[in-house]
A and B are shown apart, each in its own frame.
Chain A
Amino acid sequence: MYEGAVQDLIDELGRLPGVGPKSAQRIAFHLLAADPADVKRLVTALTEVKDKVRFCRICGNVTEQDECRVCRDPRRDLTAICVVEESKDVVAIEKTREFRGRYHVLGGAISPIEGIGPDDLRVRELMTRLADGTVEELILATDPNLEGEATAAYLARLVKPMGLRVTRLASGLPVGGDLEYADEVTLGRAFEGRRQVDV
């Protein structure tokens, strides 16, 4: 245990994902020794991210405006929506340049262990977007692990009565992993080879 402010910083850093007590301590002492201007820049970045960044009104992706860059782009195809768990998955799929439609960011996956059910995800918003009949294809690009599969299967059943083409990324993605860890080529290929989901 350290005194006051140092320990507070270590505790706060330790609450970040992937940062253990040892790393928290290392980062804290790195910051203590760092140039005040560098620390200031980090502080500004942290404050701005909270002040400026919001979630896109349409798709739930992170943005600094009302709508995200993808939703603002008039060249995007309005007949296809790709459903992902997190904004970082949008970035991963954009890199492949395989997809020209819009996204829908759920904000996670169904996981009863963590108390996450459909109502905790942006499922109702998705249903609203699908209601007017513009969308013809729904691509379920949730993570290739159990929770991602469960979420995709749930959505496929839910939208079945709407008669859209519902597809899932082709296998070949590392099973059990996160979408964001797949390399561009693999992800691009999985996109191209997406298959109709039958329920």
Chain B
Amino acid sequence: MHVSALSLTDFRSWAQLDVELTPGPTALVGSNGQGKTNIVEALLYVATLGSHRVSVDAPLVRQGAERAIVRARVERDERTTLVELELNPGKANRARINRGAVPRAREVLGLLRTVLFAPEDLTLVRGDPSARRTFLDDLLVARVPRLAGVRSDYERVLKQRNALLKTAFLAKRSGGGDMRTLDVWDAHLAKTGSELLAARLGLVDDLQPLVEVAYREVSKGQGDVALGYRSSLGEGMPQSQDREVLAAALLSELARVRQNEVERGVSLVGPHRDELVLTLGSMPVKGYASHGESWSVALALRLGSYELLKSDGGEPVLVLDDVFAELDTGRRERLASLVQGAEQVLVTAAVPGDVPEQLMGGRYDVHDGAVVRVR
């Protein structure tokens, strides 16, 4: 698929922007702070209903404006879909598909798929486990939009359960505590948690071979990368990926750690405590791999994601935001040749020299609040 037009109103630094885009590689070039990332961020918002830079919507609305509007025309298999989103921070967003209002913004998920490469990807391999969980969950939702609901339900259950544990923890010190409803939240956690867990396990299995191949390609065959899933169930983790079996395992582990949870006032079991473990040869990537190796793993995760989404049908739009400046010449060249055949690739860079020759298809200059096509 590809995006043939993007239009922004009061999104980030853009009061109004209308650009026509073409398939193949396109570079957006402009000096720092001109709004290049803001443009691709809008595109990602259409795909994911979220930003990769902030967790709330308020910063996405241009300072002084009340709402932002993003419109994207998506071309897929000869079909054109116009997706329009109105961002109302603090309130529900509104969405239209082909000019028809839809009851919930979530309905637009799946219409546009993107895979983003960004300088922050290094934290994907070097940062906290939460970065890798987010990576998995974002990819899950890109694959199966319905899972957006499961993911947000799980987060809500966790918040409710933690609030209950916290009050129980505080009340315990004063000698009371209302734990009568904890069983109910345990059941909710096991139900939504097992669905999320099963989906993640399936994803890791599917992703593993693709990431392995991609790693060999970007690193030019230095060692093998492996993905593993470490569950907070520990020893109690079933071999099966069956949801019922996983739910039962979660429930029994919750029962086992209950005392500990009440004493600490937090939920200790569930997918929110799990870890995507990345290893290179016999060593973990985090804490062992070199800077270059870490980059190769990060790129391999993104390239693997791209291949996975492509193989499910619905090739995603690739967005490479300022990544080439981070890479050495070898990785730069190899990444460029790996992505150049994609249906659509958008590259941003501060200077033209940071865009590899293969990806200099169309070129736009981003300067002074305008985007001008120069080739």
Residue contacts A-B, CB under 8 angstroms, 29 given: A22-B66, A110-B181, A110-B184, A111-B160, A112-B160, A112-B161, A112-B167, A112-B185, A113-B159, A113-B163, A115-B163, A117-B178, A117-B180, A117-B181, A118-B178, A118-B180, A118-B181, A119-B178, A146-B153, A146-B156, A146-B157, A147-B160, A150-B160, A150-B184, A153-B184, A153-B188, A154-B181, A157-B183, A174-B103
A138 to B30, CA, bound (A): 66
- Given that A112-B167, A117-B178 are contacting pairs, would A146 and B184 also be in contact in the complex, using a CB cutoff of 8 Å? no
Closest to B156 in A: A146
Partner-A contacts on B (CB < 8 A): 66, 103, 149, 153, 156-157, 159-161, 163-164, 167, 178, 180-181, 183-185, 187-188
Closest to B161 in A: A112
A153 to B163, CA, bound (A): 18
**Which of B66, B149, B153 has most A Cβ within 10 Å?**
B153
A153 to B187, CA, bound (A): 9
**Which of A111, A117, A150 has most B Cβ within 10 Å?**
A150
**Chain B residues with Cβ under 8 A from A112's Cβ?**
160-161, 163-164, 167, 181, 185
Q: Can you add 8 more A-B contacts, CB < 8 Å, to A110-B181, A117-B178, A150-B184?
A: A110-B184, A112-B160, A113-B159, A118-B181, A119-B178, A146-B156, A146-B157, A150-B181
A160 to B157, CA, bound (A): 24
Count A-B pairs with CB separation below 8 Å: 46
A29 shortest CB reach to chain B, Å: 18
Q: Are B160 and A115 in contact (CB under 8 A)?
A: no
**Chain B residues with Cβ under 8 A from A176's Cβ?**
149
B261 shortest CB reach to chain A, Å: 14
**Chain A residues with Cβ under 8 A from B178's Cβ?**
117-119
A49 to B8, CA, bound (A): 47
A99 to B103, CA, bound (A): 28
**Chain A residues with Cβ under 8 A from B160's Cβ?**
111-113, 146-147, 150
Partner-B contacts on A (CB < 8 A): 22, 110-113, 115, 117-119, 146-147, 149-150, 153-154, 157, 174-176
Q: Are B185 and A150 in contact (CB under 8 A)?
A: yes
Closest to B90 in A: A20
B204 shortest CB reach to chain A, Å: 27
A20 shortest CB reach to chain B, Å: 8
**Chain A residues with Cβ under 8 A from B66's Cβ?**
22
A112 to B184, CA, bound (A): 12
Chain A contact surface mostly: helix
**Chain A residues with Cβ under 8 A from B188's Cβ?**
146, 149-150, 153
A70 shortest CB reach to chain B, Å: 28
**Which of A117, A146, A157 has most B Cβ within 10 Å?**
A146
**Which of B149, B157, B184 has most A Cβ within 10 Å?**
B184
**Chain B residues with Cβ under 8 A from A153's Cβ?**
184, 187-188
A112 to B167, CA, bound (A): 8
**Chain A residues with Cβ under 8 A from B157's Cβ?**
146
B104 shortest CB reach to chain A, Å: 9
A142 shortest CB reach to chain B, Å: 12
**Chain B residues with Cβ under 8 A from A111's Cβ?**
160
Closest to B179 in A: A117
**Chain B residues with Cβ under 8 A from A146's Cβ?**
153, 156-157, 160, 188
A117 to B167, CA, bound (A): 11
A146 to B181, CA, bound (A): 13
A6 to B188, CA, bound (A): 47
A71 to B66, CA, bound (A): 47
A109 to B187, CA, bound (A): 17
Q: Are A115 and B180 in contact (CB under 8 A)?
A: no
**Chain A residues with Cβ under 8 A from B156's Cβ?**
146
B158 shortest CB reach to chain A, Å: 11
A170 to B362, CA, bound (A): 54
Closest to B103 in A: A174
**Chain A residues with Cβ under 8 A from B184's Cβ?**
110, 150, 153-154, 157
Give 6 nearest A-B pairs by CB, closest first.
A112-B163, A112-B164, A113-B163, A153-B184, A150-B184, A154-B184
A62 to B184, CA, bound (A): 29
**Chain A residues with Cβ under 8 A from B167's Cβ?**
112, 115
**Chain A residues with Cβ under 8 A from B185's Cβ?**
112, 150
Closest to B163 in A: A112
**Chain A residues with Cβ under 8 A from B103's Cβ?**
174
Closest to A176 in B: B149
**Chain A residues with Cβ under 8 A from B164's Cβ?**
112
A146 to B149, CA, bound (A): 12
A75 to B134, CA, bound (A): 56
B222 shortest CB reach to chain A, Å: 47
B206 shortest CB reach to chain A, Å: 27
Q: Are A154 and B153 in contact (CB under 8 A)?
A: no
A110 to B103, CA, bound (A): 27
A15 to B163, CA, bound (A): 25
A147 shortest CB reach to chain B, Å: 7
